[in-house]
Amino acid sequence: MAIYPKIAVVSQIDTVPFVYGIRHEGNFRAELLTLSSPTDCTELFRQGKADIALLPAVVVPSLRSSEIITDYCTGAAGASHSAVVACNAPIGKIRRIGVTPMAGTAAEVAAWLSQNRWHIAPEWIAVGGDRTEAADDEALLLTGCAAREAAARHAFVYDVAGEWVEATRQPLAFDVWVGHKGLSYEVHDALQRALTFGLEHTFEAVAASDYAAAPYAYDHLVREVDFLFDIEKHTALQRLWECGLKVAPKVNPG
């Protein structure tokens, strides 16, 4: 009996082409596990219940016997609306930032920006995924569709990837594909082909997704998200990894 790899991925707008490719590339056979948050995805992979996962890039150094296995990621080379810090006062006056369960790498990048670009030392608090509006004295770190819609609800919106690129002159990878060591190269190659197929059929992927009615979905995926995990993004990740605990936000319960 054939054993198919288990692949874990968070279901959100930036992963739509990847999910489509895994499901529809004709020669690839895998068990796809779609999860609700990056934390769930990471824990499933750590427990060995997934062979491959699309994980927040910042967790990679903490993983054992694992490696980045494809040339793809979810990332950006400028403002992308994939993650924003939204507030009703200028960022320099913010003393508290709410972090939702979907934050992933964006939380550590926002902490780096707080220290090195915005020059603030906010309290970080955990908030529910249903929070989309910041109170007067706080900011929210929003991702996915909530990030896109933040401008309609807030006076100030700071695009996390855009701010990072302006500060560092480097692109950014939010999530990367990670596999447990020992997976065959045939599986690596099959996954690469499936992801390529999904990206080449982004229009069909959007039409088949929960975002088919979102007028911005296709343009967001083809113009704002940068899916190539190249040497520039790897170099930028090394910079973030080297910061480590010095910038990682200590999130308090909300």
Kindly state the tokens that stand for 120. 């603030």
What was the pLDDT predicted at 250? Answer: 66
Q: Does 252 have pLDDT greater than 70?
A: no
* Cα-Cα-Cα-Cα dihedral sign, residues 12, 15, 17, 20: negative
pLDDT value at 7 more than 90: yes
| Run of H or E including 78 | none
The pLDDT tens digits for 116-157 are 999 999 999 999 878 888 888 899 999 999 999 998 899 999
At 73-110, the pLDDT tens digits run 999 999 999 999 999 999 999 999 999 989 999 999 99
Residue reference for tokens 């929003």: 142
Which residues are registered as beta bridge partners of 54?
177
Token pair in block for residue 170: 């480097």
| pLDDT tens figures, 201-212 | 999 999 999 999
What is the share, in percent, of the chain residues with pLDDT greater than 90? Answer: 81
CA-to-CA distance for 60 and 39, rounded, in angstroms? 13
pLDDT surpassing 50 at residue 200: yes
**The pLDDT of residue 20 is above 50:** yes
CA 41 to each of CA 7, 45, 186: distance values in angstroms, whole numbers, following the listed order = 10, 6, 23
The model's pTM: 0.93
In this prediction, residues 178-195 reach a mean pLDDT of 94
**Per-residue pLDDT at 1:** 39
Outline which parts of the chain fall under CATH 3.40.190.10.
6-76+171-230, 83-170+246-252
Q: Which of 1-5, 79-83, 167-171 has the lowest mean pLDDT?
A: 1-5
Mean pLDDT of 179-183: 94
Domain covering 6-76+171-230, topology: D-Maltodextrin-Binding Protein; domain 2 (3.40.190)
Q: Which CATH architecture has domain 83-170+246-252?
A: 3-Layer(aba) Sandwich (3.40)
CA distance 132 to 148: 11
